[in-house]
C-alpha cells in the first residue's frame, strides 16, 4: 500500500511564515551574522578576564536573554569552565520589589547599577527597540562604564542608538525577529567557545 504525503503549499500560514523567515535569514547571514560572531569573541575576552555579562529583555526577549546566560554559565556544546552571566528578569523577588517601589521603567536599570562593574557587558534584547525599561538600563550601563550592546528588530530604533554596538534584525514580524535573535545567540556562543579554545582576547 502506497502512502501519499500531503505537502503544505507555500501560501498557507505556515508556508508564509517559513518563507518570511528564510528571506530574513539570508539577509541576516549576509549582513549581521558577523556582528554576533564579533560579540562572541569580545565576550570571551571580557569573561575570561573575570568580567560579567548582564542580559535583559521583556517577554520573549527575556527568554532569549536567559537562554544566552544559561549557555554561558552552563555550556553551549563542549564542556568548559562556567562564566558569570546574569539574566536580570530571573530574580522575581528583586523584580517585583523594584517595580512596586520604583516603577516598571527602573526594573533593569536598578539591577544594572547594583551589579555592573566597569568593563562588564550589558546586552539588551528587544524586538521593538523602544521599551522604556531597556532604554533606562542602557543609560545605567553606560553610566556604569559597561559595554552596552543592543540586539533589536529593524533599525532605526531608540535602543539601537542607546548602546555602544548594535545588531538590528531586518525581519518583518515579531516572531521572525525572535527566531533570528536565537540564531544570533547561538552564533555568539559558538564564537565565544572558539575564541576561548584559541586563546583569543581581542575584539
Task: Give the residue carrying C-alpha cell 531586518.
Answer: 170
pTM of the predicted protein model:
0.90
Name the percent of the chain in helix, strand, coil, to the closest 5: 55, 10, 35
Half-sphere exposure of 147 (CA within 13 A, CB side): 16
pLDDT value for 200:
58
| C-beta of residue 69 within 8 angstroms of C-beta of residue 188 | no
Q: How far is CA 106 from the centre of its chain?
A: 20
Strand partners, 152: 126, 168
Q: Which of 83, 86, 63, 31 is nearest to 189 (CA)?
A: 83
Q: Where are the strands (E) in 4-71, listed by range?
A: 53-57
Residues 21-79 have pLDDT tens digits of 999 999 999 999 999 999 999 999 999 999 999 999 999 999 999 999 999 999 999 99
CA 187 to each of CA 44, 76, 83, 182: distance values in angstroms, whole numbers, following the listed order: 13, 10, 17, 9
Q: What is the pLDDT along the chain (203 residues), one digit of tens a residue?
A: 454 444 444 556 677 999 999 999 999 999 999 999 999 999 999 999 999 999 999 999 999 999 999 999 999 999 999 999 999 999 999 999 999 999 999 999 999 999 999 999 999 999 999 999 999 999 999 999 999 999 999 999 999 999 999 999 999 899 999 999 999 999 999 999 999 999 855 44
Do residues 108 and 134 make contact, with C-beta atoms less than 8 angstroms apart? yes
The pLDDT of residue 12 is 63
Amino acid at each position: 500500500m502506497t502512502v501519499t504525503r500531503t505537502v503544505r503549499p507555500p501560501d498557507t500560514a505556515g508556508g508564509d511564515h517559513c518563507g518570511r523567515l528564510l528571506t530574513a535569514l539570508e539577509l541576516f547571514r549576509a549582513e549581521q551574522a558577523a556582528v554576533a560572531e564579533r560579540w562572541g569573541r569580545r565576550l570571551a575576552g571580557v569573561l575570561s578576564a573575570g568580567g560579567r555579562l548582564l542580559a535583559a529583555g521583556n517577554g520573549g526577549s527575556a527568554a532569549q536573554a536567559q537562554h544566552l546566560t544559561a549557555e554561558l554559565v552552563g555550556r553551549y556544546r563542549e564542556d568548559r569552565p562556567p562564566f558569570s552571566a546574569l539574566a536580570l528578569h530571573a530574580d522575581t523577588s528583586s523584580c517585583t520589589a523594584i517595580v512596586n517601589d520604583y516603577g516598571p521603567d527602573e526594573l533593569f536599570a536598578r539591577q544594572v547599577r547594583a551589579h555592573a562593574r566597569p568593563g562588564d557587558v550589558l546586552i539588551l534584547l528587544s524586538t521593538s527597540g523602544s521599551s522604556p525599561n531597556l532604554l533606562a538600563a542602557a543609560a545605567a550601563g553606560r553610566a556604569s562604564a559597561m559595554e552596552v550592546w543592543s540586539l533589536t528588530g529593524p533599525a532605526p530604533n531608540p535602543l539601537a542608538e542607546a548602546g555602544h554596538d548594535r545588531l538590528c534584525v531586518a525581519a518583518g514580524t515579531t516572531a521572525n525577529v525572535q527566531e533570528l535573535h536565537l540564531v544570533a545567540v547561538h552564533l555568539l556562543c559558538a564564537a565565544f567557545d572558539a575564541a576561548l579554545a584559541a586563546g583569543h582576547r581581542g575584539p
